[in-house]
């Protein structure tokens, strides 16, 4: 029981009535009380306080020196939280002022008690409100953290771990877990250091097994155990009592697994706010997993399209079978030697494989012509880089590969096509592909001539360094030449 603010009320009433007021609990006076001991009244106060406590009702007592001692219980809900005491205090022995009769005193005390009780209620309400707000803020903070993370399309075990730790810190549980039987990557457990569970994985598995075995309907999508000792299935799992909440991770009809919080501390129960929070996080995880799957399916789908495109080009050009793959392999050797990052190499990977994809639109009669091409035919051939860029442009995740494809026939001195750009203006990936492409063109058989030897090819590459090809990339090619030659000579494709 808090006394804050009551002095004000009580002293206000003391001023307008001949009574002095105090609030007592079982231990004595609460808050400030009158320091004077008017006619020895103080000695009677503990007695009347105790009797009001016992009677749970208004009391009026008289002593030899005191006409009026009054007491009224103060209730907090249905429990006595204290007593309001009042005594007559005619400090100046003014005969005009007399002690109020018990009925009037009771009315006055009841009014004051009402005000005090009202204030307690308000205080409690505001405490609850502050508490709720605190919780909401925590939840909101956690949720905003979580929401930003799970917007991604590449949900990873790292992110799951981070997410579980956030939950653990924010809702102060001993353990937080996500168990997804078909996705071991997303199955993680985070545990407070001081909590000793030998085999965490096995432990969580038995919790979930018990949940699944339980008779309780799981239609709501969650399962709460507030005291494991009350539930036969769960009391066997650990000798100490525990409480936990497991929420299904689902999206549409697909069930992915369980998100759960667990604690050995029995001071509290699983709160509604915690349930709400966990349910919404589990929903988000479900959405992200579904999106990630969809994204991967799309990616696979795209890769398959690309693969079939490559097969189509190779099939059309009878003389250049395996060209795309050889150019790809040599380009990747150069890129690695040049120290290009893994991420950038992924982009180059597709550029190199697809550099000639635009040949799909060129009639086979021109591609396989066993004689020199006419100017018109040559201009059709020259359209293939642009055509290639157009073909892959609808595939979003290949967007980065477009420049490599579009400019793989530019020359370092600016005499190439389609844009006639030169030097460093030419995208690096195109300059790399150019070297590998030229080398393969020289060393493989054509409709009208036999391919040159690898050594001859290397020589020619170095001759056109600085005019057709980027000298820096030619220098790197020279370093990987032996490795390239070995791979090509082993007849991977050739």
Residues lying near Fe ion in the complex (CB under 5 A) are found at 356
Shortest distance (Å) from residue 331 CB to Fe ion: 12
C-alpha dihedral (328, 333, 334, 335), degrees to nearest 10: 80
The CB-of-404 to Fe ion minimum distance in angstroms stands at 11
Nearer to Fe ion, 188 or 356 (CB): 356
In the bound state with Fe ion, the residue whose beta carbon lies nearer, of 22 and 356, is: 356
Buried b (16+ CB within 10 A) or exposed e, 457-473: bbebbbebbeebbbebb
CA pair distance 406, 422, nearest whole angstrom: 14
Q: How far apart are CA 269 and CA 326, in angstroms?
A: 65
Q: For residues 108 and 389, which CB has a smaller minimum distance to Fe ion in the complex? A: 389
Token pair belonging to 280: 């919404």
Q: How far is the CB of 405 from Fe ion (least distance, A)?
A: 9
Q: How many CB atoms lie within 10 A of CB 215?
A: 6
Provide φ and ψ at 76, rounded to 5°.
Answer: -120, 110
CA 356 to chain centre: 42
Least distance (Å) between residue 349 CB and Fe ion:
17
Residue nearest to Fe ion (CB): 356
CB closer to Fe ion out of 166 and 356: 356
Beta carbon of residue 408, minimum distance to Fe ion (angstroms, whole number): 6
Q: Which of 480, 465, 392 is nearest to 423 (CA)?
A: 465
CB 288 within 8 A of CB 159: no
Residue 259 and residue 247 in contact, taking contact as beta carbons nearer than 8 Å: yes
Check the CA dihedral 292-294-300-303 and report its sign. Answer: negative
User: In the complex, what is the shortest distance from the CB of residue 384 to Fe ion, in angstroms, rounded to a whole number?
Assistant: 6
For Fe ion, the closer of residues 50 and 381 by Cβ is 381
Q: Please tell me the total number of residues recorded for the chain in this structure.
A: 494
257 closest CA partner among 265, 268, 246: 246
For residue 490, the minimal CB distance to Fe ion (Å) is 24
- H-run or E-run covering 61: strand 59-61
Distance CA 286, CA 257 (A): 9
Cβ nearer to Fe ion, comparing 30 with 310: 310
Provide the minimum distance between the beta carbon of 310 and Fe ion in the complex, in angstroms, as a whole number: 13
Kindly tell me the number of DSSP H helices and DSSP E strands found in the chain: 16, 10
Closer to Fe ion by Cβ: residue 74 or 461: 461
How far apart CA 143 and CA 119 sit, in angstroms, is: 35
Tell me the closest approach of the beta carbon of residue 483 to Fe ion, in angstroms: 23
Nearer to Fe ion, 174 or 356 (CB): 356
Residue (356 or 470) nearer to Fe ion, CB: 356
| Least spacing, CB of residue 315 vs Fe ion, in Å | 16
User: Whose CA is closest to 314, among 355, 374, 347?
Assistant: 355
Say how far apart CA 307 and CA 276 lie, in whole Å: 46
CA distance 181 to 126: 45
Q: Closer CB to Fe ion, residue 126 or residue 415?
A: 415
């Amino acid at each position: 029981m808090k006394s804050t603010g009551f002095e004000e009320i009580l002293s206000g009433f003391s001023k307008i009535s001949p009574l002095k007021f105090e609030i007592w609990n079982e231990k004595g006076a609460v808050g400030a009380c009158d320091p004077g001991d008017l006619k020895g009244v103080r000695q009677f106060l503990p007695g009347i306080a105790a009797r009001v406590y016992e009677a749970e009702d208004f009391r009026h007592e008289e002593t030899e020196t005191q006409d009026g001692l009054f007491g009224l219980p103060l209730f907090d809900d249905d429990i006595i939280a204290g007593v309001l005491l009042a005594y007559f205090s005619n400090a100046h022995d003014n005969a005009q002022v007399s002690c109020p009769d018990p009925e009037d005193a009771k009315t006055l005390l009841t009014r004051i008690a009402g005000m005090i009780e009202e204030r307690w209620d308000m205080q409690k309400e505001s405490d609850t409100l502050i508490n709720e707000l605190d919780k909401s803020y925590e939840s909101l903070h956690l949720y905003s953290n979580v929401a930003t993370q799970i917007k991604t399309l590449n949900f990873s075990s790292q992110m799951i771990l981070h997410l579980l730790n956030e939950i653990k810190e924010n809702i102060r549980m001993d353990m937080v877990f996500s168990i997804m039987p078909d996705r071991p990557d997303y199955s993680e457990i985070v545990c407070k250091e001081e909590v000793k569970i030998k085999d965490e994985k096995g432990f969580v598995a038995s919790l979930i097994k018990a949940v699944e075995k339980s008779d309780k309907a799981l239609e709501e999508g969650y399962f709460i155990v507030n005291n494991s000792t009350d539930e036969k299935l769960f009391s066997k799992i650990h000798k100490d009592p525990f409480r936990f909440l497991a929420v299904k991770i689902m999206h549409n009809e697909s069930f992915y697994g369980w998100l759960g919080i667990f604690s050995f501390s029995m001071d509290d129960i699983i709160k509604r706010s915690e349930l709400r929070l966990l349910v919404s996080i589990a929903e988000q995880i479900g959405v992200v997993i579904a999106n990630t799957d969809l994204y991967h399916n799309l990616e696979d789908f795209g890769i398959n399209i690309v693969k079939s495109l490559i097969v189509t080009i190779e099939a059309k050009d009878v003389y250049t079978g395996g060209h795309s793959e050889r150019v790809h392999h040599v380009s990747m050797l150069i890129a690695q030697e040049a120290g290009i990052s893994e991420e950038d190499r992924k982009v180059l990977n597709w550029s190199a494989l697809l550099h000639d994809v635009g040949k799909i639109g060129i009639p086979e009669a021109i591609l396989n012509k066993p004689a020199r091409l006419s100017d018109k035919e040559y201009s059709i051939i020259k359209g293939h880089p642009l055509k290639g860029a157009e073909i892959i442009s609808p595939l979003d995740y290949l967007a980065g590969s477009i420049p490599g494809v579009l400019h793989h026939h530019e020359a370092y001195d600016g005499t190439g096509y389609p844009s006639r750009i030169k030097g460093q203006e030419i995208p690096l990936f195109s300059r790399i592909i150019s070297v590998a492409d030229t080398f393969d063109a020289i060393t493989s058989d054509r409709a009208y001539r036999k391919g040159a030897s690898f050594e001859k090819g290397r020589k020619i590459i170095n001759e056109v360094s600085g005019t057709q090809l980027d000298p820096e990339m030619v220098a790197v090619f020279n370093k990987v030449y032996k490795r390239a030659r070995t791979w090509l000579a082993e007849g991977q494709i050739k």
